[in-house]
Amino acid sequence: MTAAEKSISNSIEKLEELVSWLTQWLSDHEVSGSIAYKLRFAMEEITTNAVYYGFPTGTSGTVTVRIHEEVRHEKYRLDILDDGEAFNPLEEAPEADPTLELDDRELGGLGVFLVKNLSEDCSYKRENGWNHLTIVIDAESA
Amino acid sequence: MALGIEKHVSNGVTTLKLTGDLDTATAGQLESTVKEIIAGERPGIVFDMGGISYVSSFGLRVIVYTSKAMRAHGDRFAMHSIQQDVMEILNISGLNRLLKVVETQDDAIALID
């Protein structure tokens, strides 16, 4: 079982470090194609939301991502943690509606909806002051 | 990966040949380019997506923005050569049926001319 972890401070400039870290890990472990896309997408959406909206203005905090390979080239688990305000994106993020016409659409709001749809399983818990989201992505997801 | 934007203007239609990642970090560059084009006279825009291997929800946001903004300009906006994983994101979002998504540059031009 392979696992890795990376933490950043809650600043927008640091988000790219997470993307570089994950894409390097995926490349090192020969994970490519659709499953690599979904892992990056899930991580980027959740960490971006956490850094943009999860912390009261002016406060510093941490966002941590862990990746576990559960079945080689088949199944991966992302754990995404932040010590911002308690927020369950799976329940509290505005729900996007894929049936809406263009004129009725807001520009945002698709991220969490897509993460739910691209993953096999998502769950949230609040623990010791941390938001902890677990996302399982496998070769069959979506 | 960075975003590459190569601009070609032909018969009043601006084609943006896009390469790399359309993500949280780069979506703003495309939005600025689109805004410049829309400020011009009778704008028409084609996104050549053949070189785009990754689109995040910020990328989708710019695509939706462009499409909505082009409503006021005769809907002269189309996209082509979308890679499979990116297409899956568009399908799940329900954007595939709202956007002019075609196979080739010629199809795109034919749609908006």
Predicted pLDDT of residue A98: 87
| pLDDT-based confidence at residue B21 (cuts at 50, 70, 90) | very high
Please report, for the domain that includes residue A15, its CATH number: 3.30.565.10
Q: Nearest-CA residue of chain B relative to A42? A: B56
pLDDT over 90 percentage in chain B: 91
Predicted pLDDT of residue A106: 77
Please indicate if any CB of chain A lies within 8 Å of the CB of B38.
no
Question: Total domain count for chain B?
Answer: 1
Which residues constitute the domain of residue B94?
A: 3-112
Mean pLDDT of B40-60: 95
Predicted pLDDT of residue A1: 61
Predicted pLDDT of residue A72: 86
Please report, for the domain that includes residue B71, its CATH number: 3.30.750.24
pLDDT over 60 (residue A142): no
Give yes or no for a contact between B23 and B56, defined as CB atoms under 8 angstroms apart: yes
| pLDDT-based confidence at residue A135 (cuts at 50, 70, 90) | very high
Predicted pLDDT of residue B32: 97
Q: Nearest-CA residue of chain A relative to B72? A: A103
CA of B21: how far to CAs of A40, A142, B10, B32, B55, in Å?
Answer: 12, 22, 25, 16, 6
Predicted pLDDT of residue B47: 98
Which residues constitute the domain of residue A106?
A: 2-138
Predicted pLDDT of residue A141: 67
Q: Sheet containing B3-10: give its strands across.
A: B3-10, B13-22, B45-55, B77-80, B101-102
Q: What is the pLDDT of residues B72-95, one digit of tens each?
A: 999 999 999 999 999 999 999 999
Q: What is the pLDDT of residues A74-109, one digit of tens each?
A: 999 999 999 999 999 999 888 788 888 888 887 777
Question: Total domain count for chain A?
Answer: 1
Are A98 and B92 in contact (CB < 8 Å)?
yes
pTM: 0.92
Q: What is the pLDDT of residues A48-61, one digit of tens each?
A: 999 999 999 989 99
Q: Nearest-CA residue of chain A relative to B22? A: A41
Q: Which residues of B touch A98 (CB under 8 A)?
A: 92-94
Binding-site residues on chain A for chain B (CB distance < 8 A):
15-16, 19, 33-34, 37, 40-41, 44-45, 48, 96-103, 105, 107-108, 110-111, 113-114, 117-118, 142
